[in-house]
């Protein structure tokens, strides 16, 4: 578990993180969103003790990172996939990490296999693509079999197969009871992966909600060959295509029951609502520091 209490970081006159209080709980994938400059990377650096907070505290299992005896066994993190000595092989990089934490070499081979890097680990890290570097970084984060995992933009550089792999991995780690904290700018992927979303803007907490609340269904889409009677019976219905209605403020059960009572065949009946991207843009429209002119 990660606990943030009044966490604040100032750089001169600039406040990067402003009085942030959160509990990131086990068994959950928490997505971390915010515009560029919102304070996400700074927050992660504060959790890992790479920057000192101006005030407040960041605790992992009730302790500061600096006070952990063997931190990789408590929290695994990936903030910069290219932060590896370019002349060292991927395997030797992980072995050096393992020995610093009392982790056996066998675990190195396990995480290489888990991330699909067994063969590539013989090569020098400086020859890796960004996607391969991401996989090596994730292997390093998993090395100590930690209860907490924190990843900054882990899908950058991954191909579609790799994106699906990291999604499945994060979900499975949370299902094991681990705390998973992950940032990304890919809204569609975050919508598929996260259980909960934390949104920052200009260093302050804008939203902390379960995913389903941010993308709550706003209506029902209905497709069928004879929908005019249904449209006449539902004043909140609007035509979205020749054979398609969108019914605002209704559930699929309500619309389906009425269609049945009217004797209407229905080809499709599903809830619709704002996408995560739409909800995110609405939340952050006044908190974007580097917005382009329209």
Across 63-75, b (16+ Cβ under 10 Å) vs e yields eebeeeeebbbbb
Q: What is the pLDDT of residues 259-271, one digit of tens each?
A: 999 999 999 998 7
On average, the pLDDT of the chain sits at 91
**What beta strand segments (E) does the chain contain?**
2-11, 14-24, 28-33, 55-60, 75-78, 148-152, 179-183, 196-201, 204-210, 219-223, 237-241, 244-248, 268-272
Nearest to 221 by CA among 196, 189, 197, 243: 243
Contact 231, 64 (CB under 8 A): no
Share of the chain above pLDDT 90, in %: 73
Q: How confident is the model at residue 189 (pLDDT cuts 50, 70, 90)?
A: confident
- Tokens for 101? 């934490």
186 has a pLDDT exceeding 60: yes
> What DSSP designation does 147 have?
S
Helices 130-142 and 105-114: angle between axes, nearest 10 degrees: 130
Query: What are the tens digits of pLDDT across the range 232-262?
Result: 998 878 887 889 988 877 788 889 999 999 9
Q: Which residue has the tokens 């081979």?
A: 109
Could you tell me if 1 and 178 are in contact, meaning their C-beta atoms sit under 8 angstroms apart? no
* Predicted pLDDT at 205: 94
**How many angstroms separate the CA atoms of 212 and 272, rounded?**
12
CA distances from 75 to 8, 10, 98, 162 (A): 21, 25, 14, 23
* pTM score: 0.79
Question: Of 202, 162, 199, whose CA–CA distance to 183 is shortest?
Answer: 199
pLDDT of residue 148: 98
pLDDT digit string, tens, across residues 56-76:
999 999 999 999 999 999 999
Residue located via tokens 């750089």: 11
Position of tokens 């995560």? 276
Task: Check pLDDT > 80 for residue 294.
Answer: no
**Cβ–Cβ contacts within 10 Å for residue 87, how many?**
9
CA 62 to chain centre: 23
Model pLDDT, residue 57: 97
Per-residue model confidence (pLDDT) at position 285: 74
Q: What's the pLDDT score for residue 168?
A: 95
**CB 31 within 8 Å of CB 198:** yes
**Residue 289 confidence class, pLDDT cut points 50, 70, 90:** low
Which SS3 state, helix, strand or coil, does residue 273 take? coil
Dihedral of CA atoms 7, 39, 32, 198 in degrees, nearest 10, equals 50
Phi, psi of 81 (to 5 degrees): -65, -20
């Amino acid at each position: 578990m990660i606990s943030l209490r009044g966490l604040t970081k100032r750089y001169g006159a600039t406040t990067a993180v402003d009085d942030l209080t959160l509990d990131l709980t086990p068994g959950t994938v928490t997505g971390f969103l915010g515009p560029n400059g919102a304070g996400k990377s700074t927050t992660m650096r504060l959790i890992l003790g790479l920057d000192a907070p101006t005030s407040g505290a960041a605790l992992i299992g009730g302790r500061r990172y600096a006070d952990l005896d063997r931190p990789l066994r408590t929290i695994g993190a990936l903030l910069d996939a290219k932060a590896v000595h370019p002349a060292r092989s991927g395997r030797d990089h992980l072995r050096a990490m393992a020995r610093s934490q009392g982790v056996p070499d066998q675990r190195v081979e396990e995480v290489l296999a888990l991330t699909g890097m067994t063969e590539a680990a013989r090569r020098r890290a400086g020859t890796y693509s960004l996607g391969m570097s991401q996989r090596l970084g994730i292997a390093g984060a998993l090395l100590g079999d930690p209860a907490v995992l924190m990843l900054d933009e882990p899908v950058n550089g991954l191909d579609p197969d790799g994106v699906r792999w990291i999604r499945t991995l994060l979900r499975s780690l949370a299902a094991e009871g681990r705390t998973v904290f992950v940032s990304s700018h890919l809204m569609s992927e975050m919508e598929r992966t996260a259980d909960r979303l934390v949104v920052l803007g200009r260093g302050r907490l804008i939203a902390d909600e379960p995913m389903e609340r941010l993308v709550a269904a706003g209506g029902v889409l209905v497709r069928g060959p004879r929908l005019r009677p249904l449209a006449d019976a539902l004043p909140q219905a609007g035509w979205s295509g020749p054979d398609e209605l969108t019914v605002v403020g209704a559930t699929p059960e309500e619309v389906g029951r009425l269609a049945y009572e009217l004797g209407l065949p229905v080809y499709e009946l599903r809830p619709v609502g704002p996408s995560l991207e739409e909800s995110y843009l609405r939340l952050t429209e006044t908190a974007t520091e580097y917005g382009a002119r329209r």
